[in-house]
Amino acid sequence: MKWFKSLAAAALLLPAVTMAAELPAGLENKKIALVRFISQGDFFQAYLAGVKAQAEALDLELQVFDARQDAARQRDMLDQAILQGFDGILLQHGFTDSIKDKAAEAVDAGIQVVAFDVDAQNEAIPQIQQSDAELARLALEQLVADNGEQLDLGYVYVPGFPPLERRDAVFSEFKQIYPGLKEVARFGTVNNPIANSVADQAAAVLRANPTISVIFAPFDEFAKGAKIALEEAGLAQDVKIYSADISTADIQAMREPGSPWVATAGTNPVVMGEVSVRALAMLLAGENPGRQVLVPPTLITRQLLNEQDIQNMEQLGQKLPAFAHADVANPEWMVLPNR
Ligand code: SR1
């Protein structure tokens, strides 16, 4: 049994990753930077966890620059990342105007750059996204299937964010296809804490628009805000919420008895973080992940969560494998984190 014990001891020393073929030489001793505009909320915390796990699996040194929703700070941080000689930069959210020229400067300096949910308007920078049009379509089709084509709805929206703008384009199409869908109020903010700020706005909107029977809130922090307002106004049984994104906290909120939050469409944000780093690693290895790196979303209803008794993201991944892993930016040699 001595051999068995030493084998078991050796196994414990192995890194917590799934080993694939040998890593390409281009990935040795590389430093990458995550330059993020927004970080508060379940989605962004989980996204960071995915970035860290995938960077560790590939032995990439990672530094996180957190602009905390300050566009000028994000620009400065991108500048710092260029000056500090990072080999790769992952841009996460932000505004085209504040990063476009700096992102081009990074590319010209030979730094590999990828962007998640921010448009740097640069052909050399792959764009990573959750197929936002499909995500909005899934949520809106469920909204119409549940509530019919004639209804007054409230819409939570903030312009300027590419994922929200892509979802908004699909919402506009739906309103044309179904003229009976009446958007009677539009509101929204990303001021921290986002959910509470949206709740304050939603409370006023609901008071002024008693005919609203549905709220379309295509960001989970927006949906949390709408839910708080509906519950405080005693309207949780009368108004339904359709959203984007999913997290363990969201699953619990959707499953609360009498919750108005009945459906959402999304991906696993941990997977989005992993895919973002994998796309960057492919560039560092001299491979092309493609101009658009898309991760398909899935619809999740309150009914499904209750019927399958899904309590958290881990169980969601067991029932719906799309939430555990995305076969995107995943060449033969890729080393995946163990989850
Ligand atoms: C303010 S933008 C918020 C969105 O970014 C990510 O795409 C998440 O899906 C979230 O809904």
Q: Residue 20: what pLDDT?
A: 52
Q: Of the ranges 17-21, 82-86, 324-328, which one carries the lowest mean pLDDT score?
A: 17-21
Q: Residue 14: what pLDDT?
A: 43
CA 172 / ligand 1 centre spacing (Å): 18
Predicted confidence (pLDDT) per residue in 161-189, tens digit: 999 999 999 999 999 999 999 999 999 99
Q: Is residue 42 in contact with ligand 1, taking CB distance under 6 Å?
A: no
Give the mean pLDDT of 284-290. Answer: 97
Q: Is residue 116 in contact with ligand 1, taking CB distance under 6 Å?
A: no
Pocket test for ligand 1, best of 95, 171, 245 (most atoms within 8 A of CB): 245
Give the mean pLDDT of 209-227. Answer: 98
Sheet holding 212-217, edge to edge: 181-187, 151-156, 212-217, 240-244, 261-266, 298-301
pLDDT value at 7 more than 60:
no
Q: Residue 22: what pLDDT?
A: 84
pLDDT value at 19 more than 80:
no
Q: Is residue 161 in contact with ligand 1, taking CB distance under 6 Å?
A: yes
Query: Ligand 1 atom closest to Cα of 129?
Result: 7
**Whole-angstrom Cα Rg for the chain:** 21
CA 59 / ligand 1 centre spacing (Å): 28
Give the mean pLDDT of 20-41. Answer: 91
Q: Is residue 117 in contact with ligand 1, taking CB distance under 6 Å?
A: yes
Q: Residue 225: what pLDDT?
A: 98
Percent of the chain with pLDDT over 90: 92
CA 207 / ligand 1 centre spacing (Å): 27
Give the mean pLDDT of 241-268. Answer: 98
- Atom 7, ligand 1: residue with shortest CA distance: 163
pLDDT category at 87 given cuts 50, 70, 90 is very high
Q: Residue 8: what pLDDT?
A: 42
- Please state, rounded to an integer, the average pLDDT across all residues of the chain: 94
pLDDT category at 289 given cuts 50, 70, 90 is very high
Report yes or no on whether pTM surpasses 0.85: yes
Q: Residue 17: what pLDDT?
A: 53
pLDDT value at 13 more than 80:
no
Q: Residue 339: what pLDDT?
A: 74
CA 219 / ligand 1 centre spacing (Å): 6
Strand partners, 61: 31
pLDDT category at 11 given cuts 50, 70, 90 is very low
CA 15 / ligand 1 centre spacing (Å): 32
β-strand pairing of 261-266 with 336-337: unpaired
Q: Residue 77: what pLDDT?
A: 98
pLDDT value at 16 more than 90:
no
Q: Residue 226: what pLDDT?
A: 99
Pocket test for ligand 1, best of 48, 91, 117, 221 (most atoms within 8 A of CB): 117
- Atom 6, ligand 1: residue with shortest CA distance: 163
Q: Which residues are CB-neighbours of 275 under 8 A, at least 6 positions away?
A: 50, 128, 293, 295, 326, 328, 329
β-strand pairing of 336-337 with 88-92: unpaired
Q: Residue 9: what pLDDT?
A: 42
pLDDT value at 228 more than 70:
yes
Q: Which residues are CB-neighbours of 82 under 8 A, at least 6 positions away?
A: 89, 102, 105, 106, 109, 111
Give the mean pLDDT of 234-254. Answer: 98
Q: Which residues are CB-neighbours of 9 under 8 A, at least 6 positions away?
A: none
Q: Residue 338: what pLDDT?
A: 87
Q: Is residue 44 in contact with ligand 1, taking CB distance under 6 Å?
A: no
Give the mean pLDDT of 291-307. Answer: 98
CA 233 / ligand 1 centre spacing (Å): 27
Q: Is residue 65 in contact with ligand 1, taking CB distance under 6 Å?
A: no
Predicted confidence (pLDDT) per residue in 106-128, tens digit: 999 999 999 999 999 999 999 99
Give the mean pLDDT of 230-249. Answer: 98
Q: Residue 15: what pLDDT?
A: 44
Q: Is residue 190 in contact with ligand 1, taking CB distance under 6 Å?
A: yes
Give the mean pLDDT of 297-326. Answer: 96
Q: Which residues are CB-neighbours of 20 under 8 A, at least 6 positions away?
A: 332, 333, 334, 335, 336
CA 209 / ligand 1 centre spacing (Å): 27
Q: Is residue 43 in contact with ligand 1, taking CB distance under 6 Å?
A: yes
